[in-house]
A and B are shown apart, each in its own frame.
Chain A
Amino acid sequence: NAGVTQTPKFRVLKTGQSMTLLCAQDMNHEYMYWYRQDPGMGLRLIHYSVGEGTTAKGEVPDGYNVSRLKKQNFLLGLESAAPSQTSVYFCASSYSGRAAGELFFGEGSRLTVL
């Protein structure tokens, strides 16, 4: 099994450009998450989804949009990139069940906005 796959792994954007990060999981998980990781800040939750067709805001949602059209995919979009969005982005998924369990992470997507 591939687990959680993120594409692209690296991207450089100019301020104002748009892009989409794709996360795909093959574990039939209900929950999917997007985090960003900055030095000294740990991981901060951007948006998450508790099932196909649903999304919710996390701690730092401004400047990002997400969509969960298919259960296995969770897309993170930047409509107009800003240098403050330079970060490493991690996607994760988990099985919901009656109590939340472990998260499975992708390897990260490193984004630089010039």
Chain B
Amino acid sequence: SQQGEEDPQALSIQEGENATMNCSYKTSINNLQWYRQNSGRGLVHLILIRSNEREKHSGRLRVTLDTSKKSSSLLITASRAADTASYFCATVLYTGGFKTIFGAGTRLFVKA
């Protein structure tokens, strides 16, 4: 099974509401990243949080990391229809070289 697993698999909310996505992983990490993918496009990096950090903010994004529980969450505040996309967490491991492993993603639909 995959290193990172997102929850929920799909999320539908109204514009203006907050969206929270969770990610769990299995092994020790160097850092954890969140990416966004619009339909039919490549992934775009959103935010990176290192293993010694607990919380990070970037605009309307807030990421938390709990290494004791091997979990992370991504909060998007005041969501917009344009936030509709799939969101992936990615864990970065060091195994003689850095390797980035992705979860299955959360599909977010924001209704206008």
Contacts and interface: CB of A to CB of B under 8 A. Distances in A.
Contacts of B33: 102-103
A107 B94 CA distance: 26
A55 to B, nearest CB: 10
A100 B45 contact: no
A35 B42 CA distance: 11
B42 A105 contact: yes
What band does the interface of chain B fall in when counting residues whose beta carbon is under 8 Å from A?
A: 20 to 34
Interface in A54-89: 56, 58-59
A99 B30 CA distance: 7
Contacts of A33: 100
B104 to A, nearest CB: 4
Interface string B18-58: 00000000000011010100001111110010100000000
Contact of A103 (B2, B45, B104): B45
Contact of B101 (A41, A45, A56, A104): A45
B33 to A, nearest CB: 6
B88 interface: yes
Interface string B80-91: 000000001010
B102 interface: yes
B59 to A, nearest CB: 16
A2 to B, nearest CB: 13
A3 to B, nearest CB: 9
Contacts of A41: 104
A50 interface: yes
Nearest to B47: A102
Contact of A106 (B31, B42, B104): B42
Interface of A: 4, 31, 33, 35, 40-45, 48, 50, 56, 58-59, 90, 92, 94, 96, 99-108
Query: Which 6 residue pairs of A and B lie closest in terms of their CB atoms, listed nearest first?
Result: A100-B98, A105-B42, A42-B104, A102-B45, A50-B97, A43-B102
